[in-house]
Each structure stands twice: as C-alpha cells, then as structure tokens.
A and B are shown apart, each in its own frame.
Chain A
C-alpha cells in the first residue's frame, strides 16, 4: 500500500480506502483501455440476480486465513471469460463490505491471469476449457462458480441452475473442501449437494 501511495499523485490526501478505490479505477481504466477486453454488454435480469448471489457467497463461505494477505485485504470476485454481468456486478459490490473487507471485481481472459481471487465466476464462454481451468486452480482457495451445464460435476463448486424461473444452487461440497473452503450450512440448506461426476 505504501508503495502504491507514492505513485498516486491525486490520492495523496485521501483515506487508504478512497485511495485504493481510486487506484482500482485507474487500474480498470488501464485494463479496459490498454488491453483488448471483450466489450461489456448489459446484464440480463438473470445475471443481475446471479451477480447478487455472487456477492452473497462471500457471506456464507469462509476462506482460510492464508487466502488473504492482510486483515482488510479485499475479497476479490473474478470473472473469467466473457462477462455476462456488464457493470452490474461492479454496482452490486460497490461500497459493500464482508467481514470488514471490501469487495473487488476482477476480470480475466485466461485462467493464467488469475492471481489473488476468492470467488471466480467462470463464464459460459469457458465451458470448453473447464477442466484445464479447474486443474490450474487446484490447491488455491478460490470458490468457483458457474452456470454451465455440468459445471459442478466437472469440478466446479457452485452452479447456478435455473428452475421454474428461479435460480437454484447446486454445490459440489467435495470440490469446496478440496479448496479448503468452509461453506455455511445455511447456504447448504436451500442448495442441492451434488457429487462430482453426476449432473
């Protein structure tokens, strides 16, 4: 943080949090301007709900302490592949805090770009590459969420299933355990627990 602060001429007089936010904004600008990111499309109502759910996961899942560098390190929500949320996800998490941690949204084109990440939404665009992605993330404390068919069976931890116009959860508890993530029993109550390989 101290290092970052020295490179932030316009944030000298702001609180660390504000400074961080500003810094993130710059970063996002750099990313969107400097990199060839897929164009953001407006989220459908379905994805709006899913974005809220993503945020809610942060409250029902417990990460091991080593998943965070510091006590106030942000919870990073990553989106891999095509972003179906548009700006909605950013709006949803803006200003929110979970266990005193701010929430940050990051977008990745490839799995290799993922560095610090706690919740990773794997877009349907990555449906073909799920196995390699999961393999690459093995051992890392990242909650993988997706809505692709068979996502949970294929090694994802939580899948959004749309049933009777409602979004339901399907949780691969073993995958989560493997990533040392504790999913609250409360979350498990309304969800459907699946074993790998079955869908």
Chain B
C-alpha cells in the first residue's frame, strides 16, 4: 500500500521512525567512512615509516650485494604481524631478497612496480625506493595485511546495529504515544466530513478539540459548511429562477445532447410546438420539430460540430422552418449555442416564431416597392415639364410596375362636364381602340361613378360588371373587372382623372388605392407645376428680350456719342475745304475746265464725307419726323436699289461661277410709307449685300413687300396700317450668338471685308423711322430680315426748304472760332461776298471784340460763333452778344449741329444753327434772312 493511502496514524509513525532511522544510519555511515579513511591513512603512514627504515637498512646490502645481510634486515619485519610479505629488488630490478624466506619467489611481483602505496584487494602494497647518498640502489616491496582494519570494522558494525535497534524501539514507543495529538483531530474532522458527504447534510458541524491550528481548521471547516449551505440555497433559488426565466422567454428554448435527444424544453416551446415538457424530454429532436427536409442536415450538422467545432447554424441567427405537433410548418428564427460542460457537449437552441414578422416584412416590402415606384415616378415627372409627357410617364410606370392592365389620364372640362382622354398607356393602346378610349376621345359624365371622382373622391369599383352605368359597362366589355378612378386636384379643383383597371375583379387592395391616390396627388402637383413653369418661362423670355433690347440701345448710344465726337472733329477739319472749294467755283470764272472739274470732284467728295460723317453720327438716333420723313413708294425704291446693286448680286458672283437668282414679289398697290428715301435705300443696299455675302455658293435672293394690318385685322375691309419688306436669302444663316450680336456696330462675320456697320445702320434707320425689324435665321437655313413701316398718312410734308437770296447789302460780321483755318476760310469767303469781317480766335476774344465795336458805335450786323471752344463757348458768346444787343442775330456754327437739334437743345440767344462743314448757300441764306430781320428790328 503506498504511503499516501495509509491511515494518517501509521503515516505519522512511519515518518518518525524513518526520520530517526535515516539520521542514525547517516551518522553510522559517516562514522564508518571517517574511520575507514583515517585507518587507511594511518596504515599507509605506518607502512611508509617501516619502509623508510627497512630501505635505509638495506642500502649497504644492496650496494655490496650482500643477500645475507638483506635477509637479516627483512627478517626484522617479524615484529610487524600484518606485514605478510616483503622483498628487495636490486638496481637491475631483480629480486634480491625476500621475506618470509619460505614464500616462493613467484609470490612476489616479478619486477618492482611504481614507487608509492596502493591498496590491492585486502592488502596495502608499497614500493619504496632504496637510496643511498642520492643514488638509487634498489626497491623495497612491502605487502601489509588489512585484516586489522576489517576486524575493527566488524566490531564497530556490531555496536552500530545494536544502537540502531535500540533507537528504533524507543522511537516507535514515543511516536505511538505522540501521534495521537495530531491524528485525533484530523480523524475527527474526517469523520465529520464523511458523515456530511454521506448524508449530504450540510447542517452538521465538527466539534472543536483545541485552539491550535486544528481548532482553526475546524472553525474554517464549519464556516465552509455554512457557506456551502448558503450557496446550495442560492443555487437552488438560482436554478428555480433560471427555469422561470426559461419558461417566461418569448423564444422556445430547448437543450439537446449530442445524439439529438431533448434534455430541456421550456414553456414557450410547449406552446409553440404543441409538445409538453414531459412528452418532449428524452425524445429525438429530429422526430419532433425538424421538418423532413432539414433532418439530414441537422444530423450532419451535429456530427460536423462534434468533429470540427464548426457548424453552419452554431452561434448564428438562422431562419428556417419548424414543424408543429399537428404537422404544420411555420417560419422560425433559430440560433444554436453549444454548451460544453466537462467533456459532454450539449446544444441549446433558441427558436422564435417569426410568422408575424415574415408577414410584416412582406407587407413592408410591398410598401417599400410602392414607395420606390412612387419616388421613381415622381423623379421621372420632375424631369419633364409638359403635361402629355408627364402623363405618359405615369401610365407607363403603372403598366409596368403596379401593374395594371389598362391605364389612361383624362382631362376634365367642368363647363361641358366631359372628360377628354389625354394619354393612353402603350400597353393599353389596343384595349383603348377596342373601348373607343383612344386619345382625344370624350367621355360624358353622367350619374356614374365618375361623377364622384370629378367631385374630388377616389372611386374604386371592385367589380364593374355589377355597376349598371354605361362607362363601367364599356370597360367591362373589354374584359376589365376592377377599376380605380383617382381625381387630379389642384387648389381643390378637379382638372383630370387617372383611370387604372385590371382584368381581375377585386384585384386592387387598400394599399393599391392609397398608392394611386398619392400618385394622383403627385401628378396633379406636377401638372400644376408644369403650368406654372410654362408661365414663368414665358415671363422670363419676355424679360430677357426686353433686357436684350435695352442693352442693345445702350450700346448703340455709347457708340453714337463716340461717333459724334469723331464727326465733330471731321466736320471742323473739312470746313475750310468746303468753303474754299465753293468759293473757288463761284468766284473764279477763269478756272480751266480741268481745275473746275477737279474742284467739283473735291466738292462732291467733301459732301460724301459730310454725308458719311452725318450718317455715322446719327445712325442710332430717332430722327425728328417732321424734319426728314416723306412719303416714299417702297417698290420704286426697291427697284432702284436692285439696279444699283446688280453688279454685286449678279455680275461679280457670276465671274466666279456662282449663280444668285433674284426673286421679287412687289404688289403694285402697295401703300406709301413715311420715310427718308435715301436711308431706306442705304438700308436696302446693305441688306442685299449681306444676303449676297451669306450665299457664297449661290442661292435665291427674295425681296418681297406686302401690306399688313397690325394688330390682327378685325375685318377684311380695313385698310392696311403697315407695309412689310422682306429680304430673304438661302445662305448660311446665323447661329443664335451671331443673331443676337448682328446689330451691334462693328460686329462682323466677314473679317476684313466687313465694317460691322451695315446691319447697325439698318437698325439705326429702323429706329429713326420708328419701324420694326425682325430677323429669322438658323444656321444653314438662310436668313430673313423683315422691316415693317407704318403706312404714310395722307398729309403733305410740311418741311419745305425755301432757298434764300444773297444779301443785297454788305454786312459787318464778327466771326468767333478757335480754329484759325476756319476763321481764315470763313473770312475769305465772306469777304469775297462783300461783307466786312472781323474775327476773334476765342470766346472771350469774341465778346471783347463785340463790346469794342459797340463802344465804337459800329455794331456788328451778325455774329457767327463756333459752339465748342475752350474756356468760353459759343453759348456764352451768344448770351453776351444778346445781353449787349438783343437785336443782333447770332449764328451758331457747329460740328454738333444735328445733335443739338435732336436734343431740342437750341440754346437761348441763338438765332440759327448751321452745321459744319458750312455750305456757302446755307450761310448766305442765313445771313440774308437774319440781316433782314435785324434791320427790321433796328428800324422798329
């Protein structure tokens, strides 16, 4: 029996005896070892001494080869009984002498061994050198018997055994008596523990025997018992609680072992599967709740988990179906947790009945898809602005996705109480033909279901065969059975109806109806938005048009101002040329024919320049109608221009093989218009040239006129109010950008060839004539420019210029101008006419000169002053002159002339304004007229 299983009493005694025995044995062994070593040492020492003596005594015997003597020396060893043998070897290592003599020579080593001592079996053997005077003479061999030592050991051994035996006896007696002190309390404790574990009664307590460690142990033991008792109680309560929790769980909780046998089964499981706990426990799970299609997988899953520790459903939420006791299957959510206690694996399954959730999910899914559809439709609608396209999108989406068998949108006319079919779905097309519900078909509203709808209610007819009204019957004849009519409402008013129908009766559920209702709201909203958008777009377009026009005018105004400045300078510059040329032509009769011809040419050129400058300066400005407008026969002017420009639209292109065909449509009874003919002519020329330029590969140039009435005529007999002139080409046309900018001055598409002023001038003319201009053009489709003029009123023009006679008498004339060339040329020409001319080269100088003449009493008859001068301008001069002598006429000579007129800016104190370059005729006429007036004044 191993020590650990022996009773504690014996264990204690064994320990005590073993301890004392081991201590004693160790003591003896060490004593023996010490004795042995000491004895050996002593023996060796004794033998060494003996050897020393014998060797010393043997030297002479060896040196002088005296064996007798050697024998004698060795014989002395008799006194040492333990020396059992000795001998001497001579220098040649031969046996020289032996002791005891009776021993045979082979009892000794044949030759001496190494010097020193060694123990051989039971003997100590020594080889001792025999040395005399440092000279080795031979070797002494001694053999000592160790019997003495063994004798001594035997004696010691006896004593030791005696002592050990005695000690054992004493130790046994003592331990027997003392072990009780320790073993008794332990045994008592063990007894108690055994009793508790046998009876499982944790209320038993161990009795305490003392206050030592065993007392403490007993206390701890008792305390432990108390704790165990408390824990047991707690455990029991906890188990009851767990059971209660399990039973109250909403999930079915069941535990199976590795073989699939049911170990636990909670209340919910009883309710869910129909097996009571008692019935279920011990059954095979496979046979109870697992549907046949999962049984194989279930068994395989358990095996796989036990083999690999992995499982498809372990510690995961899995949806599958389960079997009730009555054999019905239902969807469950299952999670399986392996429970490992020790080496036993069980599985705990949590099963939730998700039938309701599944249904809810399906409902939610359907709702989501509806919502998705709604959002898709809404998005599609939002991308469209026109009603037909919006309706088409809706119906197509409904056909595809709701789905429906027939769908259409009708617009409602409340006055006529009629629905007009506006959009029919693509798939519904065939059926619509059959039902005569194609687009634009009209459906009268009587007392049928639609009357509810047009009052704003959604109408659902689950089975229209049952409805005796004509419209439902009409649909039913096409095989449709159920119908939903959803009103399209804006601001509480129905403007249309959305119709959706299916071939199956009762096939729309409440969700479908709700969906259609929401959809119809969306549609109505979108339709409303589309209308609003259309209005907004229109307003915006108009606004943009206006803004464009304003910008155009503003741009032209700025350019016009600049042009005026330039024109002023040019007019000043060419004034002397004009004056001198006229003067020369008039006053030099002796001019050669060639000089005269040249001068006439110069005069013409100057007039051209003046004309061009005037045109440039004024092309943007509305002209005073009474000044310029005259009745013009447009057709006549057109014919003139066509002839004038023939080279450009016919001859020059033909040289390059390009043919431009001119077509005219000029009705002979065209009313006259109020216009300046040469401006019309210029404009027409420009338009024709542009048209030719737009047709580099040839084409048709059409010019037509017609009388029109604006606004639209109320009856045929009304006379035309306007005349329309159209210039059309079949050329390259203009893109939007070009069309927008084509009226801007200096904007050209012709590169170096164009000035960019052609159309701008046309536009200026149009502005001045308060007529209208329209441009129609598309890239590649040619351009049509339409000018619309008002018809001339049958009133004769009032502005008739009366030529004046040259003044009969010479006049005193003061000329004020800051330009010396003009002063000189004016003086020269006026003096040639016989006038007396005084000049002043600035405003102040002019005022001074006038004041001086007045003091002299020689008042000037006429003052001619420039308008723009530094420091003191023409207005100041005129004011000063009139202040001094109000009767003295003042003629203002200006390069700005037309502008002053246009702005009604004829300054006070000025009697006449003449524009530069001054025409001699005009100047003379003015002088004559004013001088005459002033004389009259003077006279008065």
Partner of B60, one of A98, A167, A189: A189
Q: Contact between B66 and A60 (Cβ–Cβ < 8 Å)?
A: no
Q: Which of B57, B60, B132 has the most CB of A within 10 A?
A: B60
Residues 165 to 190 of chain A near chain B (Cβ within 8 Å) = 166-169, 184, 186-187, 189-190
Tell me, rounded to whole Å, the shortest Cβ–Cβ distance linking A184 to chain B. 7
Find A60's partner among B68, B132, B134 (CB 8 Å cutoff). B132
User: Does B158 interact with chain A (Cβ within 8 Å)?
Assistant: no
- CB-CB under 8 A from B69, the residues of chain A are 189-190
Residues of B within 8 A of A168 (CB): 66
A169 to B69, CA, bound (A): 12
Interface centre among A166, A168, A187, A190 (most CB of B within 10 A): A190
Q: Is the CB of A99 within 8 A of B134?
A: yes
Distance in Å: Cβ of A165 to nearest Cβ of chain B: 11
- Measured between beta carbons, the chain B residues less than 8 angstroms from A56 are 63-64
A53 near B: Cβ within 8 Å?
Answer: yes
Are A99 and B59 in contact, with the CB atoms below 8 A?
A: no
B723 touches A (CB below 8 Å): no
Residues of A contacting B132 in the complex (Cβ-Cβ under 8 angstroms): 59-60, 186
Contact with B along A78-97 (1 / 0, CB 8 A): 00000000000000000011
**Which of B56, B57, B65 is the one whose CB lies under 8 Å from A167?**
B65
Q: How many residues from B make CB contacts under 8 Å with A?
A: 15
Q: Are A190 and B133 in contact (CB under 8 A)?
A: no
The reply on B761 being an interface residue by CB < 8 A is no
B63 contacts A60, C-beta separation under 8 Å: yes
Chain A, Cβ-Cβ closest to B72: A189
Is B60 touching A190 in the complex (CB atoms < 8 A)? yes
B63 touches A189 (CB 8 A): no
Determine whether B135 belongs to the interface, using a CB cutoff of 8 Å to chain A: yes
* Min distance, Cβ B862 to any Cβ of chain A, angstroms: 166
Q: Is A49 an interface residue (CB 8 A)?
A: yes
Complex interface residues of chain B between 55 and 96 (CB less than 8 A to chain A): 56-57, 59-61, 63-66, 68-69
Residues of B within 8 A of A189 (CB): 57, 60-61, 69
Q: How far is the CB of B62 from chain A (nearest CB, A)?
A: 9
Bound complex: CA A60 to CA B134 (Å): 12
- The reply to whether B60 and A187 form a contact with Cβ atoms under 8 Å apart is yes
Nearest Cβ on chain A to B255's Cβ, whole angstroms:
110
Partner of B64 from A96, A98, A190 at Cβ < 8 Å = A190
Using A49-B65, A166-B65, A168-B66 as known contacts, say yes or no to A186 and B60 having CB atoms under 8 A apart. yes
A190–B66 CB distance below 8 A:
yes
Q: Which B residues touch A53, using CB under 8 A? A: 63-64
Within the complex, what minimum Cβ distance (angstroms) separates A89 from chain B? 16
Chain B positions within 8 Å of A97 at CB level: 134
Assess the A98–B133 pair: CB atoms within 8 A: yes
B65 touches A184 (CB 8 A): no
Is there an interface contact between A186 and B133, defined as CB atoms closer than 8 Å? no
B57 touches A99 (CB 8 A): no
Cross-chain contact of B61 among A59, A96, A99, A190 (Cβ < 8 A)? A190
A49, A56, A60, A184: residue with the most chain B Cβ atoms closer than 10 Å: A56
The residues of B that contact A187 with a CB separation of less than 8 Å are 60, 63-64
Considering the complex, which residues of chain B in the window 796-823 have a beta carbon less than 8 Å from any beta carbon of chain A?
Answer: none
**Cβ of B59: which chain A residues have Cβ within 8 Å of it?**
186
B60–A60 contact, CB under 8 A?
Answer: yes
Residues facing A in B472-514 (CB within 8 A) are: none
Residue of A nearest to B69 (CB): A190
In the complex, chain A residues whose CB is within 8 Å of the CB of B65: 49, 166-167
How many angstroms between the C-alpha atoms of A38 and B384 in the bound complex?
A: 165
Q: Nearest-CB distance from A67 to chain B (Å)?
A: 16
A98 proximity list for chain B (CB < 8 A): 133-135
Which residue of chain A has its CB nearest to the CB of B56? A186
CA distance A173 to B134 in the complex (A): 25
Q: In the complex, what distance in Å separates the CA atom of A97 from the CA atom of B57?
A: 22
Query: A58 to chain B: which residues have CB within 8 Å?
Result: 133
A191 / chain B contacts, CB cutoff of 8 Å? 64
Smallest CB separation, A79 vs chain B (Å): 20
- What 0/1 pattern do residues 282 to 320 of B give for CB contact below 8 A with A? 000000000000000000000000000000000000000
Q: Please name the residue on chain A nearest to B57 by beta carbon.
A: A186
Q: What are 16 contact pairs spanning A and B, CB under 8 A? A: A49-B65, A53-B63, A56-B64, A59-B63, A59-B135, A60-B60, A98-B135, A99-B134, A166-B66, A169-B64, A186-B59, A189-B69, A190-B60, A190-B66, A190-B68, A190-B69
Q: Sorted from nearest, which 9 A-B pairs have the closest CB atoms?
A: A190-B66, A190-B69, A186-B60, A59-B133, A56-B63, A59-B132, A187-B60, A190-B60, A186-B59
Q: Which A positions have Cβ atoms within 8 angstroms of B? A: 49, 53, 56, 58-60, 96-99, 166-169, 184, 186-187, 189-191
